[in-house]
């Protein structure tokens, strides 16, 4: 069984930071889009088991990247105050 395509869109205070943290793990079946509000990952043409593992890894890395980028923003705001 194959997944034709799937999309995950997540909203962040710093999408560029989050996307930059995630991009080294992207494969040729993954396509990342960035806007001012969100990061979107599109996964295409992947066997079901691979898609499940990829999404699991992506969501864990996404959570970590969001936390680190949020802390970075807080630290920069404190330094400017």
What structural domains does the chain harbor? Answer: 2-80 (3.30.310)
Model confidence over 2-57: pLDDT tens digits?
Answer: 999 999 999 999 999 999 999 998 999 999 999 999 999 999 999 999 999 999 99
Cα separation, 37 vs 39, in Å, equals 7
Residue 77 pLDDT: 83
Q: How confident is the model at residue 78 (pLDDT cuts 50, 70, 90)?
A: confident
* Entry pTM: 0.86
Residue 81 has pLDDT above 80, yes or no: no
Q: How confident is the model at residue 69 (pLDDT cuts 50, 70, 90)?
A: very high
CA angle 45, 58, 38 (to 5 degrees): 95
Q: Residue 25 CA to chain centroid, in angstroms?
A: 10
């Amino acid at each position: 069984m194959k997944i034709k395509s799937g999309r995950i869109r997540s909203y962040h205070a710093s999408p560029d930071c989050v996307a930059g943290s995630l991009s080294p793990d992207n494969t040729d079946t993954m396509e990342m889009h960035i806007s001012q509000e969100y990061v979107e990952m599109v996964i295409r043409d992947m066997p079901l088991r691979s898609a499940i593992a990829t999404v699991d890894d992506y969501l864990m890395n996404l959570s970590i990247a969001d936390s680190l980028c949020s802390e970075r923003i807080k630290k920069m705001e404190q330094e400017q105050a």
